Structure 1
Amino acid sequence: MMPTVRLAFSPAPVHVRTARLVGVAVARRAGVAEDLLDEVRLAIGEACTRAVTLHRQYGLSDLVEVEMTDAPGYAVRVIDRAPIEAGLGLTTLPPDELADEALTDEALTTGVGFALLAGFVENLQVRPVDEGIGTEVRMDWPVRR
């Protein structure tokens, strides 16, 4: 088992490439099958691009965070600090519905911007960050030990 790898970068498109490169290197080390590495690269790139776009759209200088671990499979978390409604693609829902904790993962992943990402990742979760500001995109892939 490898330790958790964490990246944090300023919301600039140029850093997305670095996140993709690190993500694929960590995936390879974790034991993700070679035929899934393109999927990993594309998914990490899309999730990081989404976070950078949200930060720039809202004028946020907060760092985009990426966390990678291999327990139990290879998991990548990309965290932005944009308003939750924007990050979840739910800006058309009334505030009382946004506060509803019964929103399913399926409802959260059907927002604009998630269709492409959902095509790359079989196990995709999108949820508000614990602190209440921002969203976490979590993606998982199987590993071979």
Structure 2
Amino acid sequence: MFVIIFLLIAIPLVVAREQSVRAVGTLTCHGVPAQYAELQLVSKKVFGGDAFARDVFTDPSGYFQIAGYIDPSTWSTIDARLYIWHKCYEKPYEQSDPCSNWFEIAVPKLYINEGPLAQKTWDMGEIRLEVPKDGQKLDAC
């Protein structure tokens, strides 16, 4: 009985820890900065919904930086996903405002940091939005 109680207390204490993630990059559309595209960083959890969600928009040069943090009280590890909403299409004449394309990118485990401030940053470089992405969808509008 003592062993079961010990395991029920010890396992969550080992699993629960502060973690963080940070990503930077530039979004372009047909060689032009993708201004004011929306990005959201989310950590999916098995139980209890998403751990964190941070929203940012690209600046006039298409640059973004986004970071998130999960505290030990959530009893979960980060499974970080970056969602990107944009109005760039494979063919420029396909513009369909007010609809937005969106896709999801999994943050590599290599860039999941221990502690509340990310020491390693995932530099995604330039992401060309006109190139179709796996799983890309068009928002219902």
TM-score, with length taken from structure 1: 0.26
Higher strand share: 2
Higher RCO (C-alpha under 8 Å, 6+ residues apart): 2
Higher helix share: 1
Bigger-Rg structure (1/2):
2
TM-score, with length taken from structure 2: 0.27
